[in-house]
Amino acid sequence: AKAYMVASAGRGPLTLPQQATMYALALLALLARGAGAHWWNGDKCPCPGSDAWVFTGTMVDTHFEGATCAVVQAEMLARIAGEQLWEDPHNGGSYKVISASMDRMEAERRTGDGKYLDKMVFHFTETFNGGCEVKGCSQSQVFSLMDFSTNFCNLHNLYCGSMDGCPIASTDLVYKERSHTTLYNWGGMNKRTCLGKSTDSLRGAAASEQAAQQA
């Protein structure tokens, strides 16, 4: 039961209704974990999955105008490689490519302090008008009840451009994020946090509270 005390951090012990709510959320997370690896449209864009028994995640469907999938993926790979001195604006996280092909890419991101790891999958589909549709999914790899938009930023920061004030490596892409989906609304989706240092630090503070309550 100690694991559910995190929701009361700074506010005293949980009431019985609060405990019941937390147990219900944990149960939903356990049920979601079984389907988490195929979170989006069957096998077309499977999420990476997570070994954590409760975790957050975000999916984003993005359409790029005037850029083929090869161009979009090249920009994403350039950012991961740190070309043109590109740095992750979200607290200086570190990306790594796990695998990449013409229509699929797997990657991971570790937070700037090195404590937290998230994994992500991108699926690329050419569109009839010469553009590209990218469906991405990012999931936390550690116990997490909220991520302060981290999973969203993991995806967004690899392709966002000047229209959102993002640094680029070589190509300033034009895009529209057509849909956002979070796991039971536990993940945030705030673009403004993707350019600052606040969310990873908040995430770390929340994790510290969790660890203290479970100790």
pLDDT in single tens digits along all 215 residues of the chain: 333 333 333 335 657 766 666 666 666 555 554 444 444 444 455 788 888 878 888 999 999 999 999 999 999 999 999 999 999 999 899 999 999 999 999 999 999 888 889 999 999 999 988 999 999 999 989 887 778 899 999 999 999 999 999 999 999 999 999 888 876 556 678 899 999 854 444 444 444 444 444 44
Going from the C-alpha of 19 to that of each of 23, 78, 171, the distances in angstroms are: 6, 46, 49
The model scores a pTM over 0.95: no
Q: Are strands 175-182 and 57-64 parallel, antiparallel or unpaired?
A: antiparallel
Left, alpha or beta for 144 (phi > 0: left; psi -120 to 50: alpha)? beta
Cα dihedral 1, 140, 28, 146 sign: positive
Nearest alpha-carbon partner for 81 in 100, 101, 68, 97: 97
* Eight-state DSSP code of residue 210: H
Q: Write the CA distances from 133 to 65, 104, 175, integer angstroms.
A: 9, 12, 9
Evaluate the CA torsion angle 114, 75, 198, 148 in order and state its sign.
negative
pLDDT at residue 74, as a whole number? 98
Sign of CA dihedral 192, 98, 114, 203: positive
Report the alpha-carbon distance of residue 196 to residue 100 in Å, rounded.
Answer: 28
DSSP label at 85?
A: G
**195's tokens:** 């350019």
Q: What is the pLDDT of residue 34?
A: 46
Per DSSP, 5 falls in state G
Q: From residue 31, give the alpha-carbon distance in Å to each of 14, 24, 73, 166.
A: 24, 11, 33, 36
Q: Which of 109, 101, 136, 142 is nearest to 121 (CA)?
A: 136
pLDDT of residue 11: 38
Nearest 5 degrees, angle CA 188-CA 49-CA 6?
Answer: 50
The Cα–Cα gap between 212 and 199 comes to: 20
Supply angle C-alpha 6, 8, 9, rounded to 5: 70
